[in-house]
């Protein structure tokens, strides 16, 4: 899922996204609740209308950003009190608030409010954290069910039913992951996210946690690994039962001049060989490189412009460079998912 944090994918237009056709975008509840705000988005007809995007949108609960970006935060059973990273204004976010905001802006797939713990973490803290996450998840589900029933009964509002996902936490502790998963399965969600990974642990530890997460979660519900990752990590995660991904890597690294290119496009699920490379478009060695940016791309601008020209744009801070690399990287990631699906089928 490409990241449209504040209602847009940086450096690209919605027309670009329609050509890329990811089928779904991810937006950030925390940033949208601060600016432009829940009421303004609702008045504008919801996030889909604001963006002119008629396909699904998944929104996180805002919890991760509260814990990572907020200047000051206080955490208790009722929720979180925090100060905005923009202007220091105080906000209160309860589990019910998190769901209400996501429903108000018109999200199609919503996430429960949870606590994402940075690793490594002490076991006693992880135990308290998953108890809190399970308690918040139950409150989110209860509020979601009540509001969904009201919408269904309101015949004036003909809209598709949104989905709510629970988020499994527990760090690298298998028994705590099991407890968290069991709690959420008992509550019952439309899908299950695996949270609290790629937050300080090694890649091997992350893959190990995914192996036992695969054993814990229902086979008939989608599994969503939050915030991951590099292409080879996605392949390994799919091998361990993960269905959905989001990550800032393709767009953020594009803005820093890193281009993702295929080396080998088949047999991804059967080999450990490196199937992609990254190119630093600011590198001196590209100064006279007349190869196209990406000769295999569906986009004429990536086929017709040279890497030397891309480097020239980038070193001169031309915003066109960011657009071209972002376009390339998202195309690469979406092709990666298409290839994986074809190999599974």
Q: What SS3 class is residue 279?
A: strand
Cα angle 46-84-49, degrees, rounded to a multiple of 5 = 10
Residue 246 annotated in active site: yes
**Both structure tokens of 231:** 């292409």
Question: 305-336: b or e for each residue (b if 16 or more CB lie within 10 Å)?
Answer: bebebbbbbbeeeeeebbbbbbbbbbbbbbbb
Rounded Cα distance, 131 and 84, in Å:
26
CA 122 to chain centre: 26
Catalytic residue among 97, 114, 183, 246: 246
Q: Are 293 and 259 in contact (CB under 8 A)?
A: yes
Rounded Cα distance, 36 and 18, in Å:
24
**Both structure tokens of 237:** 């995660």
Structure-derived torsion over alpha carbons of residues 275, 281, 287, 288, reported in degrees to the nearest 10: 40
**Residues contacting residue 68 through CB under 8 Å, at least 6 positions apart:** 116
Residue 289 annotated in active site: no
Catalytic residue among 16, 21, 60, 182: 60
* 3-state DSSP helix/strand/coil % of the chain, to nearest 5: 45, 15, 40
**Both structure tokens of 286:** 């590209």
Q: Are 1 and 58 in contact (CB under 8 A)?
A: yes
CA 218 to chain centre: 21
Closest CA to 249 of 235, 267, 275, 231: 231
Q: Which neighbouring-strand residues pair with 83?
A: 90
Active site residues: 60, 246
């Amino acid at each position: 899922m490409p990241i449209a944090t504040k209602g847009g994918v940086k450096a690209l237009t919605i027309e670009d996204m329609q050509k890329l056709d990811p089928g779904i975008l991810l937006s950030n509840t925390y940033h949208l609740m601060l600016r432009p705000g829940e009421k303004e988005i609702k008045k504008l007809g919801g996030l889909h209308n604001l963006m002119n995007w008629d396909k699904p949108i998944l929104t996180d609960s805002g919890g991760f950003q509260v814990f990572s970006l907020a200047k000051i935060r206080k955490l208790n059973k009722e929720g979180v009190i925090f100060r905005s990273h923009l202007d220091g204004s105080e906000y209160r976010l309860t589990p019910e608030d998190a769901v209400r905001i996501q429903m108000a802006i018109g999200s199609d797939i919503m996430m429960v409010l949870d606590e994402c713990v940075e690793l490594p973490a002490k076991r006693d803290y992880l135990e308290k954290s998953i108890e809190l996450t399970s308690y918040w998840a139950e409150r989110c589900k209860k509020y979601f069910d009540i509001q969904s029933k009201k919408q269904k009964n309101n015949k004036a509002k003909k809209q598709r039913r949104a989905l709510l996902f629970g988020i499994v936490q527990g760090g690298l502790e298998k028994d705590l992951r099991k407890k968290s998963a069991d709690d959420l399965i008992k509550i019952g969600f439309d899908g299950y996210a695996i949270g609290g990974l790629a937050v300080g642990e090694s890649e091997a530890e992350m893959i190990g946690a995914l192996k036992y997460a695969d054993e814990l979660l229902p086979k008939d519900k989608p599994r969503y690994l939050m915030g991951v990752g590099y292409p080879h990590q996605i392949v390994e995660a799919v091998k361990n039962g993960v269905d959905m991904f989001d990550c800032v890597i393709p767009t953020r690294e594009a803005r820093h001049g890193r281009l993702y290119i295929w080396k080998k496009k088949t047999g991804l699920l059967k080999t450990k060989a490196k199937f992609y490379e990254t190119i630093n478009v600011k590198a001196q060695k590209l100064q006279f490189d007349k190869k196209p940016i990406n000769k295999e791309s569906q986009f004429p601008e990536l086929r017709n412009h040279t890497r030397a020209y891309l480097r020239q744009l980038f070193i001169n801070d031309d915003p066109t460079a960011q657009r071209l690399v972002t376009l390339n990287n998202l195309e690469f990631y979406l092709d990666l998912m298409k290839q994986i699906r074809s190999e599974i089928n």
